[in-house]
Amino acid sequence: MLTKHKMATPSTDQIYDRQIRLWGAESQTRMMQSHVAFVNVSGLTSEVLKNVVLAGIKCTLISIGPRVVSEADAASNLFLRKGDIGAANVEAASQARVQELNVHTTVEHLVYGDLSSFLSTLPTSGYTLLVSPALGMSTLDSQTISSSCRASGSSLILCDSFGFHACAFLQVGGDEGHTYRKEAGKDKLSDPMTAIYPVIEGADSLGDWEGLKTRFGGVPKEWVAWMIGRMGRGKGEDWKFFAEETLKAKKLPSTYLGSQDDLAALPKSLYSSPCIVPVCAVFGGQLGQEVLKMLTTKGECAWNFLTFNGETQIAREVRVGPDDGKKQ
């Protein structure tokens, strides 16, 4: 499928003047030649979408499966209103408002019946990056997306916000890894470096989470909550028991995520409550920064998870791997 990309022209230079002065015309052109797909837009990914569209990057909104607008959607998604509740499709209802943010870039919308029919288009679609929530799908599906992206060379961000926290998995580049240059002072860039990003199956099959601790502290609780949230989808009544067993199996204390009451409250914030807007704004901005680094290849991207804890307001990288991320 041939897609026409926009080039930086004198008229777009005017519009993007303030951002071109930051990252340069070459980076602007590289971004305008990128193509990002947003699958099943959530509260958090709607913030990332806003940042990407404003930067002048072409976006496609992908709907997979039933996408009727719920109350939670309308309360979380930046592009939905109360009046959209009950509408047939979240992405369709959002598209016009997304486009309104930037008439100089393209915002498309595509609909697929299921994940596999979407993933079969990846090799020819030319998407530079896929952004998708993960808590709404099984771990198997997220692993399938991850390996399909790796095979077709598209980068991937899987991310969710839940309560006051948020978490993201980053997979940049394909088998050859992601080559970038670090910023080393004013207007100076380092020599090219390459980082290999593993597929998510590696992190999912890790047997020991206690071993992820560093000399700066244990593995962040929000990461643990997200991973258990992804694995525990559909457990219903048994969720609390499943969470405790998983913690034990991964060599963490069963009280790692708090008391019995704290554990009981988690499924609601993981699966059904609307997102908290400032959490989405802050983490959506952080992920937006990562997207800019990925597409411009300037600056070092987080490897390979990024988390935000709304109680401490700390955003940090969590190096789960496996592999150490360096090209051999």
Contact yes or no for 66/42 (Cβ under 8 A): no
CA 172 → CA 20, 91, 155, 305, distances in Å?
23, 25, 4, 11
Interface residues for other proteins in 20-49 (CB under 8 A)? Answer: 21-22, 25, 47
User: At closest approach, how far in Å is the CB of 8 from other proteins?
Assistant: 11
Nearest CA to 315 out of 286, 292, 290, 280 is that of: 286
**Of residues 96 and 140, the one with the C-beta less far from other proteins:** 96
Q: Which is nearer to other proteins, 31 or 119 (CB)?
A: 31
What is the C-alpha to C-alpha distance for residues 203 and 170, in angstroms, rounded to an integer? 12
Q: Which stretch binds other proteins (CB under 8 A): 132-140, 229-237, 242-250, 279-287?
A: 279-287
Site stretch for other proteins (CB under 8 A), options 12-20, 36-44, 127-135, 263-271: 12-20
**Near other proteins by CB under 8 A: residue from 1, 11, 66, 82:** 82
Q: Which residues contact 171 (CB under 8 A, 6 or more apart)?
A: 146, 149, 150, 155, 156, 157, 197, 198, 199, 200, 304
**Does residue 181 belong to the site contacting other proteins (CB under 8 A)?**
no
Give me the 103-142 binding string for other proteins, x by CB under 8 A, dash otherwise. ----------------------------------------
By CB under 8 A, tell whether 202 contacts other proteins.
no
Q: How many chain residues interact with other proteins (CB under 8 A)?
A: 48
Q: Is 76 in the site for other proteins (CB under 8 A)?
A: no
- The continuous run of DSSP H or E covering 289 comes out as helix 277-296
How far is 194 from 179, CA to CA, in rounded Å? Answer: 4
Give 179 or 190: the residue with its C-beta nearer to other proteins.
190
State which of positions 231-260 bind other proteins (CB under 8 A).
none
Q: Among 32, 295, 306, 320, which residue interacts with other proteins (rule: CB under 8 A)?
A: 306
d(CA 97, CA 71): 18
Residues 309-328 binding other proteins (CB under 8 A) are 310, 312-319
Stretch of 142-150, 238-246, 257-265, 292-300 lying at the interface with other proteins (CB under 8 A)? 292-300
- 80 token code pair: 């939905």
3-state secondary structure of 78: coil
List the one residue from 108, 201, 204, 300 that touches other proteins (CB under 8 A): 300
CA dist list (Å): 175 to 52, 62, 198, 207, 299: 25, 25, 9, 24, 20
* Tokens encoding 2: 């041939």
Q: Cβ(185)–Cβ(164) under 8 Å?
A: no
Binding stretches for other proteins (CB under 8 A): 10, 13, 17-19, 21-22, 25, 47, 50-51, 54-55, 75, 81-82, 97, 100, 182-183, 214, 216, 277-282, 284-286, 288-289, 292, 299-300, 302, 306, 308, 310, 312-319
